[in-house]
Structure 1
């Protein structure tokens, strides 16, 4: 009886479907290996071309999941299942999820813009939304910064991509602005000269720059001087502190 079943209509159906399953499994196994191979190769090429690691991981994930979805649809179609309705269901589900996660999608789009246009990178010191710190990690939905007091702050990428960002370390040099106050009984010309000498003698100033000393403005009781010098980013706070310390005994308040 088994031979009759196998040799009849059911046998033909079982044989045909067994072949389809075997082909689908072969495509699945080879496809899983192929998607992993393509993803790893793409990442290696991007790393070799010195693409930023955040962008490398992001593009790698997109390539990986795009290939996996295509593989899944191919395997399902080889089993004889109609894929057009299945794709339509996936599209409708994606639309529903997208509408319910509009805020997250905004942050996702912001992360892409930050990665592509690079207003800052990992290691930069930035100021945004009233927070200042060093960028520790650029994630897809948020950016992680560490403040000077060692606090971790996560800022949504949607806000970062649409707001004002002050990047303190994107350029190698930075101007140091020091405000000095004195009263009207001081010898303004002599004080201005001394301030210039103090600023010019600092060893961490850029060699091709000269200090600038100005009378900035007047108030009812004080004359406000501005001392401006240029130095490397890493020396900014030290130069400012040194100038303030050396001018402390010069001013009369």
Structure 2
């Protein structure tokens, strides 16, 4: 029994020795190719990222391109190393294709997010710190990932949107500003030009109101109870609501101090007697 086990061990040992003698140079060559390829891929990735960053390319897109080139170089290195050992990579490619198909069907939604993220990174409909509105949500772009885009609003709420809900949708990009719109009614007996000039001066005195694009103030409508004066101006997105509230209060006080009447809604009701109705 012991003699048989020793014979088996000797046979295995001899097989290993024969393999190493026959393929030692191929193994050493494949290992050197693999290690050298990994080192070169890392260097190429870092160099490419720095070059793209110096060119002013968006950091997310630069990371993506550098990592993609690195992965491609590593894949080529692995194929060369396997070929050095005399191993055919055709079965591995076929197996990888089958696994990829099954995984793709299982995670179709996730893959669509990654595809949409790639489209966003390549086409750049917005970049970091832009103010965008999509699917009814508005915020400043804080992160652009392959699967999701993260927005932050004025209330410090973190809004994570899957990228498939951004690509193909109506997207509003106002860079780093937001538009404030307001309106106030003045009585028909007032001078509308005086009211417009007063509102313009009042809004210009507010610190966060941007001078470019220029604000717009004018008659928006002729309502039942008075003339509606509309005003539109731009502010930095993080100060949107606080500036809007401050502007409305300042306009109200300015009109009051100038003696310009803000009318109440009025309705005229006429009662007809039975005799009059006949």
Pick one of 12, 16, 21 that aligns with 2:22: 16
Q: 1:209 to 1:18 in 2, by over 3 A?
A: closer
Provide the C-alpha distance between the structure 1 equivalents of 2:127 and 2:182, rounded to a whole number of angstroms: 28
Instruction: Check the 8 A contact 1:143/1:154 in 2, yes or no.
Output: yes
- Paired with 2:49 and 2:210, the residues of 1 have a C-alpha distance of 42
Q: Which has the larger radius of gyration?
A: 2
User: How many correspondences in the alignment?
Assistant: 240
The alignment's C-alpha RMSD in Å is 3.0
**1:163 maps onto 2:164 in alignment:** no
- Cα separation, 2, equivalents of 1:53 and 1:190: 54
Pair 1:213 & 2:218 matched: yes
> 1:252 aligns to what?
263
5+ residue gaps, structure 2, are 1-14, 265-278
Query: For structure 1, which segment, 57-66 or 234-243, has the greater mean C-alpha deviation from structure 2 after superposition?
Result: 234-243
- Decide whether aligned partners of structure 1 residues 236 and 148 sit closer, same or farther in structure 2, where only a CA change above 3 A counts: closer
Tell me the residue number matched to 2:181.
177
Task: Work out whether residues 198 and 243 of structure 1, in 8 Å CA contact, stay in contact via their aligned partners in 2.
Answer: no
- 1:195: Cα distance to partner? 2.8
Give the deviation of 1:147 after TM superposition.
2.1
Q: TM-score, normalised on structure 1?
A: 0.81
Give CA-to-partner distance per residue, 1:116-144, whole Å, 9 cap, x none.
22221111222222222211110110001
- TM-score (normalised: structure 2): 0.75
Bigger shift: residues 87-96 or 236-245: 236-245
1:97 maps to 2:86: no
Q: Is the CA contact 1:131–1:147 (under 8 Å) kept in the aligned structure 2?
A: no
Map of 1:198 onto structure 2: 199
1:126 and 1:208 mapped to 2: Cα distance? 18
- Contact 2:154–2:240 at 8 Å: present in 1 too? no
Unaligned 5+ runs, structure 1: 1-8
Deviates more, 1:138-147 or 1:9-18: 9-18
Matches within 5 A, 1:214-233: 214-219=219-224, 221-228=225-232, 230-231=233-234, 233=236
Taking a change above 3 Å as real, the CA distance of residues 105 and 73 of structure 1, as seen in their structure-2 partners, is same
